[in-house]
Amino acid sequence: MLEIDNLRFTYPQARDARRTAGEDSASAGAIVQANFRIARGRSTALMGGSGCGKSTILNLIAGFLQPQHGEARFDRRSLLGLAPAQRPLTYLFQTHNLFPHLNVRQNIAIGLHPGMRLSAPQNAAVAQVLEWVCLPEFAARNPSSLSGGQQQRVALARCLARCLAGNRPLLLLDEPFNGLDETLRAQMSARILALQKTHSLTVLITTHQPQDAAALQAEVVAM
């Protein structure tokens, strides 16, 4: 169970703006806050307009930002004292997911081992996810030679490999299907759903598309 209890964050610039303009001013900076729960093995989709705070919430859960109020627990354990790498999750960032100097296979492998020295089962996981995202023939290519949608699928493949191979029961996906056409969106969501069922993953996704939430059988939280 992922429990997000009144998690609250204001960026320093927004805090300064509130101080200058007064708490009630319409121009005062926004407070990002969230309150929801996701049962183990279930999905939730955070939906809302651009700039409403979806990525901020994922960054708070992943540990790249520290909340000013509230609590985030997974399986009853607070996540807030843990460094990002210690948290039991894998995170697809909205942008800048790939290392430009590594090829596709290495970009996936580095999610499993920082030195990319993989065991036989880990190598099998890399081969499996390359199939899932329909990019096996691109394994030796560099990210700069791929389209935006292909790069997005490599980043997704790294996350899926981590879920497949390791003990990462929580999956955070920030607009994971950007740059993908309808067919690929449907294929990728079917893969995520299948992996979620077999590994009992708890999935938190942000999207603008109601059909993504439906394809993942996700409960919608409007922000």
Cα–Cα distance between 133 and 184 in angstroms, integer?
9
Smaller CB separation from ligand ADP, 27 or 50: 50
Counting contacts by CB under 5 A, is residue 55 touching Mg ion?
Answer: yes
* Binding map of ligand ADP across residues 53-92, x = CB under 6 A, - = no contact: xxxx------------------------------------
Smaller CB separation from Mg ion, 58 or 164: 58
Amino acid at 13: Q
Cα–Cα distance between 195 and 210 in angstroms, integer?
21
Cα angle 53, 213, 190; round to 5: 130
Smaller CB separation from ligand ADP, 53 or 169: 53
Smaller CB separation from Mg ion, 52 or 146: 52
Counting contacts by CB under 6 A, is residue 52 touching ligand ADP?
Answer: yes
Nearest to 56, CA basis, from 69, 44, 43, 65: 65
C-beta contacts of 210-214 below 8 A and 24+ residues apart: 210/47, 211/185, 212/45, 212/177, 212/185, 213/45, 213/47
Counting contacts by CB under 6 A, is residue 30 touching ligand ADP?
Answer: yes
Using CB under 6 A as the criterion, which residues of the chain lie in contact with ligand ADP when the complex forms?
11, 13, 30, 32, 48, 50-56
Using CB under 5 A as the criterion, which residues of the chain lie in contact with Mg ion when the complex forms?
54-55, 94
